[in-house]
Chain A
Amino acid sequence: MDATQCVIDVRSLRRVYDGGFEAVRDVSFSVGRGELFALLGTNGAGKTSTVELLEGLAKPAGGQVRVLGHDPYAERAAVRPRIGVMLQEGGFPSELTVAETVRMWAGCTSGARPVGEALELVGLTKRANVRVKMLSGGEKRRLDLALALLGRPEVLFLDEPTTGLDAEGRVDTWELVRELRADGTTVLLTTHYLEEAESLADRLAILHEGRIALTGTPAEVTATHPSRISFDLPEGYFPGDLPPLAELGVTAHETAGRTVRLQTHELQRAATGLLLWAQGAGVELRGLDVRSASLEEAFLQIARDARAEDTAQDAAQDRTKETVA
């Protein structure tokens, strides 16, 4: 990615809150022009803390951020007219109407769309004269999106854009985001909906405890984790009676009681071999479960690994101290 094509560049980013809590620890990634990049993570993983640094709302404790080639905090005036921001939570005076809110924001936005057009984009035309306090959670999210799109931004930051939306609203928002991306808008979105990241993102990063645990295209991230097969061994059979597992492309296996669990990166080959063996032997594999790799699997695995790591926390803390020093 050459410099002109790199729209967002984040290097070794750190954010420490007043109380000393380190919300972002050494996060690096970059987003190219026209790309849609998703930050995934559980609540508290550091998604919003990271995005706020990219939006220039706060100064990083360490590391470097460049948005459109500028420091978004120090060179706010150069960056702001070219970006659109949707915060995780409202920030509208509750006594203003929808139209008044958009008009106010338009007065502060270079090259703003007409108010009517902005409301039409997000399907709020009929609610134009309703006070913000009367809007549903989903309508507030859409108003927020309208403001983010008001200045036809080159770069769009969407912090959990579909949280609180119903299924239809979510699909509408996805459609809108896809259109924007097709028009060349660079989008950085955070979400804790895996299907949202899987269906929208060109690339994604999974954040965990302020660090990037995994990054790549949805396919790459998925591929880092094996597919799984599990079944109960038939009565009178032992694991040794199974066909040679390595030849079936199985990379790991374990037995718990009568349950056998296999991992493979070649699901079709492993499953076929196993089923042919069962058919030849004339046995039924009870509890058979064949599961292809998924983003969800990768995501859950990160959480599981983290829990296992908690036991070795002391060692981890020592490591952190060393890196900081």
Chain B
Amino acid sequence: MSTTLTEQRTTAAAPRTTPAGRLGALARTELTLLGRAKGTLFTALVVPLILPFTVQATVKESTLEGTGVKVGEVLLTAAVGFSLLFAVYAALVTIFVVRREELVFKRLRTGELRDPEILAGAALPSVLIGFAQCVVVTAGATVLLDLGAPKAVWWALAGVLLGLVLSVALAAVTAGISKTAESAQVMALPLMFVSMIGSGMTVPLEVFPDRVASVLELLPLSPVITLVRGGWSGELTAGEGLMALAVAVAWILLGVFAVRRWFRWEPRR
């Protein structure tokens, strides 16, 4: 062991770390780890790109008849939804649980990082991947499916950004109630199924009876899908758009509350 101990403490003048610096250090580490976790990486990168094709095979013009919804719009929103669910939500549920069970979160909490920074830093690479994917699939869909340029791009962008934040918050909630990485996979399924079927991802809400549709509109991912589709079609009134924003924000607030209340930083004893 060495003798460098005595040149010691640079008194109180040592520069303090900043939230951005800490977040960056943690996110960089998570990116390295993501690159080494092939399974998680495959689920995050490839699955959301393949699934829209399976939807294409099932969504026929006939089902959409009389709804005024184009097949291309359904595929587009399906692609965005799959990116959020697989690249962000499902990936993060696993990452959060594994970090907790490996005691990494507990370790990080002994340092200067604040609790929200720990979750944000761990989530950042997945969020960036999810965002990049949304951009790629929407660009691809726009070109390949003849959708044309989005008519109200701000609605779509707001939808994607809120969707990313929402996915992180819901992943943390799901991780909080999952005991192991295996059970986390199962705990993640309900939201994924419900979203795929009931949030307008693969089946437009217009297909459902009005009463059912108005309930389904309140599901977590519904406002995100509504905003993205409205962004392309331009057929979203300000009232509908604001309503969707409000529902998304409400879910985020609920998620943050649940995380603060129920998230566990250490494995159960």
Any chain B CB within 8 A of the CB of A111? yes
Encoded as 1 (CB less than 8 Å from any B CB) or 0, chain A from 93 to 105 comes to: 1111000100111
Write the nearest CB–CB distance from B15 to chain A, whole angstroms.
7
Contact A104 B25, CB 8 Å, known A176-B1, A183-B5, A183-B8: yes
Task: Say whether A107 contacts B24, CB under 8 Å.
Answer: yes
Task: Say whether A92 contacts B110, CB under 8 Å.
Answer: no
Which residues from chain B contact A55 at a C-beta distance below 8 Å? 110
Could you tell me the distance between the alpha carbons of A110 and B10 in the complex, rounded to whole angstroms? 11
Task: Say whether B102 contacts A80, CB under 8 Å.
Answer: no
Task: Say whether B4 contacts A121, CB under 8 Å.
Answer: yes
Could you tell me the distance between the alpha carbons of A117 and B5 in the complex, rounded to whole angstroms? 10
Could you tell me the distance between the alpha carbons of A17 and B36 in the complex, rounded to whole angstroms? 36
Residues 102-124 of A contacting B (Cβ, < 8 Å): 103-111, 117, 120-123
Any chain A CB within 8 A of the CB of B237? no
Which residues from chain B contact A175 at a C-beta distance below 8 Å? 1
Task: Say whether B4 contacts A90, CB under 8 Å.
Answer: no
The stretch of B74-82, B111-119, B138-146 in contact with A is B111-119
Task: Say whether B99 contacts A111, CB under 8 Å.
Answer: no
Task: Say whether A93 contacts B113, CB under 8 Å.
Answer: no
Task: Say whether B15 contacts A110, CB under 8 Å.
Answer: yes
Contact of B5 among A94, A154, A179 (CB under 8 A): A179
Could you tell me the distance between the alpha carbons of A93 and B98 in the complex, rounded to whole angstroms? 9
Could you tell me the distance between the alpha carbons of A140 and B8 in the complex, rounded to whole angstroms? 24
Task: Say whether B9 contacts A152, CB under 8 Å.
Answer: yes
- B interface size (C-beta, 8 A): 38
Which residues from chain B contact A108 at a C-beta distance below 8 Å? 17, 21-22, 25-26, 108, 111-113
Which residues from chain B contact A121 at a C-beta distance below 8 Å? 1-2, 4-5
Could you tell me the distance between the alpha carbons of A104 and B21 in the complex, rounded to whole angstroms? 10
Could you tell me the distance between the alpha carbons of A176 and B6 in the complex, rounded to whole angstroms? 11
Contact of A110 among B5, B14, B102, B103 (CB under 8 A): B14
Could you tell me the distance between the alpha carbons of A111 and B8 in the complex, rounded to whole angstroms? 11
The stretch of B27-35, B126-134, B159-167, B188-196 in contact with A is B27-35
Residues 25-82 of B contacting A (Cβ, < 8 Å): 25-26, 28-29, 32-33, 36-37
Any chain A CB within 8 A of the CB of B260? no
Interface centre among A80, A85, A180 (most CB of B within 10 A): A80
Task: Say whether B16 contacts A81, CB under 8 Å.
Answer: yes
Task: Say whether A94 contacts B102, CB under 8 Å.
Answer: yes
Contact of B26 among A76, A104, A111 (CB under 8 A): A104
Any chain B CB within 8 A of the CB of A77? yes
Any chain A CB within 8 A of the CB of B136? no
Could you tell me the distance between the alpha carbons of A121 and B5 in the complex, rounded to whole angstroms? 8
In the complex, the 7 A-B pairs of residues with the closest C-beta atoms, listed nearest first: A107-B25, A91-B107, A111-B14, A91-B103, A85-B110, A104-B29, A95-B36
Q: A121-B4, A123-B1 are in contact. List 18 more A-B contacts (CB 8 A).
A: A57-B106, A57-B110, A81-B112, A87-B107, A91-B104, A91-B105, A93-B33, A96-B29, A96-B33, A103-B25, A107-B17, A107-B26, A108-B21, A109-B112, A111-B14, A120-B2, A121-B2, A154-B9
20 A-B interface contacts by CB (under 8 A): A55-B110, A57-B109, A80-B111, A80-B112, A90-B102, A91-B102, A92-B104, A93-B104, A96-B33, A100-B32, A107-B24, A108-B22, A108-B111, A108-B112, A117-B2, A120-B2, A120-B4, A121-B5, A152-B14, A183-B5
Interface residues of B (CB under 8 A from A): 1-2, 4-6, 8-10, 14-17, 21-22, 24-26, 28-29, 32-33, 36-37, 99, 102-114, 269
